Structure formats: C-alpha cells, structure tokens
Amino acid sequence: MILDLFDNLQIGFAHVVTPINLLYCFIGVFLGTLIGVLPGLGPAATIAILLPMTFTLDPTTSLIMLAGIYYGAQYGGSTTAILVNLPGESSSVVTALDGYQMARQGRAGLALATAALASFFAGTVAALVIALAGPLMAAVALSFGAADYFALMVLGLTASVALAQGSLVKALGMVTFGLIVGLVGVDVTSGSSRMTFGLPDLLDGISIVAVAMGLFGLGEIMLNLTDGEEARSRQKEPVRITLPNRQEMKQISGPVVRGTVIGSVLGILPGGGALLSSFTAYAVEKKISKEPSRFGRGAIEGVAAPEAANNAGAQTSLIPLLTLGLPSNVIAALMAGALIIQGIQPGPQIISSQPALFWGLVASMWIGNLMLVLLNLPMIGLWVRLLRMPYKFLFPAILVFCSVGVFSLQFSSFSIWVMVVFGALGYLLRRLDCEPAPFLLGMILGPMMEEYFRRAMLLSRGDPMVFLERPISATLLVLAALAMISISIPALRARRDAALKE
C-alpha cells in the first residue's frame, strides 16, 4: 500500500510540476489570500466568478486553482484578523480573539508566524489524510448501489440542515427550495419540461454558476452596501515576523496537532469545513487549558489551534466530493459544478478514471501550502495597505467580473437576469437569517438524487422497500432520521443553538 501511495504521488507531482499547473496553483493561492484579506468577498463568491474561466482549462488545472483559492483564503483571513481585528474570512473570527490581543501587546509578528506555521503543518497533514483516506473511501463507495447513493445524499442534506446556523425550519426550507430549483428543465426520462414556464432558456435547467454568482456575489455586495462600510483600523507600526522560540514551540505544538486532527475529521462532515473546525478547536483548547482565563487576552494557543483546524478542515472537506460525489459544503458544491460542466461526474470512479486529477490535486496542496508560507509572510505590509481601499471602489470591479463571467457561459442576457434575481434572493435570505449554502447543496444534489432514486426503483421494480433491505442504505437512512429526531428534541436543540452561537 505504501509503495502504491508513492507511485500515485509520483503521478500527481509529475502533473503538477509543469509551468501551467504551477502558475495556476500560484494564482489560486494568491487570489485566496487576497480575498481572505478583503472583507466582503469570500471564497464562494470568488470561485463562482472564476468558474467560467475554468471551462477552457484542463480539469486538473482548474481544480488545482479552485482548491488553492479555498485553502488560501484561510491564510489571508488570519492576517487581518490579527493585525486590525477584522477577519477577512468567517473561519478567522475566532483567531481575532487572541491574535489581535497579541498584536496590541506588540507580538503581532509572533502571532502571524504562529498562524503561518500552524496552517502549513495542518495543510501538509490534511493532504496526507486525503492521499490515505481517499482511495479507501472510494473503494468502499464502489460497493454502493443506486439506493445507497440516494440514502447517502439524504444523509448529507440532513447533516447540512443540522449544522446550519439559525432556525432548523429555515434550513430545511432552503434545502427543499434548492431541490425544487435543481429539477427545473427537461425530464431526461420522459422528455417533458418541468417548471420552465414556457421559457426556452430554462429547458436546460438553471445555471449553477449564475445562481452562485447571484447568491454569493451580488447578494454580498447588496448586504455590504446597505450595512455600510465597516470601520477599519490602521496598523501604523511596521510588523516584523518573529518565529516562536523553543518554549513557545512547546506551547503551541499540542494545540496545532489537536487542531489538525479536529479539522481533518470535521472537514469531512457535510456542513463542516473550516468554520466549524476553527470554533471547535478553540473551544477544546479553552476547555482543557489549566488557565482558561488567558484565552481572549492574547493566548498563543488561541491562534495556533483554530488556524490549524480551519486549514485542515478546508482541505479534507474535498474528500467526500472526490470519493463519494457528495459536496460537503458550498465550496465543494461549486467545484462539483465545475467538474460536471466539463463532463466529469464526481464520485469513486475519479481515482481510477482520472488519476491525474485526484493525485494532482493532492500533490498541489503540498506545493500550494509551501507557496502560501513564502508568499504571506513577506507581504504583510501590502495586505494591510489593501485594507484601506474603500469598498465603493471594490464592489464595481466585483460587479463587472460577475456580469462578464455569467454572460460568457452561453452568451445570453438571460443568464445575467438569473444572476440578478438570485442576487436579490441572496440578499433577502441573509436579511431573513436564512443560510444560502443549504439551498445550493440541494440544487446540486437534486438531479443526482432523482437519478439514483429512479434507478433504484427501476431495479427493484417499483418496490420502495429496497431502501430498507440494503444494509448500507438502511443504515444511512436511520442515521439521517436519528439526526433529524435528535435536533428536534427541545433540550438538544437548545444546546445546538447555544454551541453554534458561541
């Protein structure tokens, strides 16, 4: 097995270490860092904007760039969280608690170095986890039948509802709405049109890219403009990077390892990823600390643990997509859309049919994390100066990129109208405290769930008991039911809401 791993990694590095793939890996991590630094533009919006550009690229090259944007955003978000108490990325909110206090105490350089080292270690380990766990999960997935895949997707959507912030009813409504929107177009089996309202442009369905640009691009712009530009602090004193000494290395080694393990595990869960991982890692460190009162006052462990967790969680969240064909969060859903548009169906066949894509992505993560360390530390001053750019100069550029990108999909103004409609919807959803991520997951998985459901019913000659007779599908459906029942119990639901709020 070890020899096979080395052989496969050689395949991956052979495909990555080419001028074009190294260039796009660098572009991905650079853009990821940039959007992590700039508030108001997250990785989901950036990936949605860049999706049309990936259609002309090799699938491996495009996935390397998109993944680099995702885990690169975790680096950039920590920089501004530490220096000016302004998290550029949601998963960096918890880093600001102790990171900014360290900066105020004159230890900004130490906090930044700690964040970079923790992220690099976690990214390296997470890539190894993908390399080891990916083939094993894919081998198990090959034994799945149509009923099992349907049950797996039900479990994934149920978990996304359970882990969504706010009202469970709203999250369930978002998933249901997403499933309905995903079924718009021509029914492949019967050839009849569904919910097209007589519009020929809807016969091929609603564009995932246009919807994503609207929800996460235009919706975010509207929210930032109506809320007003957030006051931005100024980092007046120059920052010099200070590497941890022996005592400090001993102090952060445990939190980094624990954060990496937490992120690697929680990243695989649907709805998990970087955000849940960073908050959980911080809570664990504060819980086991002999001096919990230090947290929030400049504890270096409060920087090391969440930074390791969010980077590990960002990378391992791609495992379900590549091995099971199940996006675990909105970023993975967008990547699934990019692969589907290029004619590649995410799932266990990717490792055998597209070895260059899977192992190339794994190898690019090691190279990308090294690029991030070498890129971020020397460019601290540039990132801080970018924070002073008024949002009124930033959002028109985002708007232009969104419009050009969505128009280039089919060279049709209808796609732009779709983006505008879902942009307004995204703004409304945020005002109503509804998360758009479960909606997009439902839209991506809807057609796939329908296909597997029909296939299972066809093979069983219309007997719905096939979902309970197969051990795998029965187990997955029971887990989904238990998840919904558990979060419906008032006491457990109150604890869930308190944990998510904290």
Q: What's the pLDDT tens digit per position in 340-354?
A: 777 787 877 787 788
DSSP string, 273-308: HHHHHHHHHHHHHHHH-S-GGGTTTT-THHHHHHHH
The span from the CA of 369 to the CA of 122, in Å, is 9
Q: How many domains does the chain have?
A: 1
Nearest to 74 by CA among 382, 338, 313, 366: 313
CA angle 152, 61, 447 (to 5 degrees): 30
Q: Are 4 and 139 in contact (CB under 8 A)?
A: no
pLDDT of residue 258: 92
pLDDT of residue 383: 65
Q: Has residue 367 got a pLDDT over 70?
A: yes
Average pLDDT, rounded, for the chain: 78
Q: Are 263 and 134 in contact (CB under 8 A)?
A: no
DSSP string, 308-376: HHHHHHHHHTTHHHHHHS---SHHHHHHHHHHHHTT---STHHHHH-HHHHHHHHHHHHHHHHHHHHHH
What is the SS3 string spanning 443-458? HHHHHHHHHHHHHHHH
CA angle 74, 80, 84 (to 5 degrees): 155
Q: Has residue 470 got a pLDDT over 80?
A: yes
Mean pLDDT of 178-206: 80
Instruction: Render pLDDT for 212-252 as a digit per residue (tens, 0 to 9).
Output: 778 767 777 787 777 654 444 444 455 666 778 888 888 88
* % of the chain at pLDDT higher than 90: 3
* Terminal-to-terminal C-alpha distance of the chain: 43
pLDDT of residue 397: 72
The span from the CA of 153 to the CA of 418, in Å, is 26
Instruction: Render pLDDT for 99-109 as a digit per residue (tens, 0 to 9).
Output: 888 888 888 88
Nearest to 477 by CA among 156, 169, 242: 156
How crowded is the C-beta side of 494, counted as CA atoms within 13 Å? 2
Domain that holds residue 206: 2-501
Q: Has residue 194 got a pLDDT over 90?
A: no
Lowest pLDDT segment from 72-86, 305-319, 435-449: 72-86
Lowest pLDDT segment from 222-236, 306-320, 368-382, 442-456: 222-236
Mean pLDDT of 252-262: 91
- The dihedral through the CA atoms of 456, 134, 76, 231 has a sign that is positive
pLDDT of residue 233: 44
The span from the CA of 394 to the CA of 491, in Å, is 45
Instruction: Render pLDDT for 124-173 as a digit per residue (tens, 0 to 9).
Output: 898 888 888 878 777 777 677 888 888 887 887 787 676 666 677 888 88
185's enclosing H/E stretch is strand 185-186
Q: Has residue 490 got a pLDDT over 50?
A: yes
CA angle 317, 472, 169 (to 5 degrees): 60
Mean pLDDT of 71-78: 76
Q: Are 99 and 301 in contact (CB under 8 A)?
A: no
Helix (H, G, I), strand (E, B) or coil at 92: helix
The span from the CA of 302 to the CA of 322, in Å, is 32
What is the SS3 string spanning 194-231? ECCCCCHHHCCCCCHHHHHHHHHHHHHHHHHHHHCCCC
The span from the CA of 314 to the CA of 308, in Å, is 10
The span from the CA of 292 to the CA of 285, in Å, is 8
Rounded to 10 degrees, what is the CA torsion of 245, 247, 250, 252? -70
253's enclosing H/E stretch is helix 246-266
411 Rama class: left (phi>0) / alpha (psi -120 to 50) / beta: left
Amino acid in position 5: L
Q: Are 279 and 252 in contact (CB under 8 A)?
A: no
Q: Has residue 257 got a pLDDT over 90?
A: yes
Angle between helices 391-410 and 413-431 (to 10 degrees): 130
- Residue 47: band (very low, low, confident or very high) from pLDDT cuts 50, 70, 90: confident
The span from the CA of 40 to the CA of 458, in Å, is 47
* % of the chain at pLDDT higher than 70: 81
pLDDT of residue 23: 92
- Alpha-carbon distances of 407 from 120, 224, 375, 396, 435, rounded to whole Å: 38, 24, 33, 16, 26
Q: Has residue 464 got a pLDDT over 80?
A: yes
The conformation of residue 186, written as its DSSP 8-state character, comes to: E
Mean pLDDT of 296-316: 87
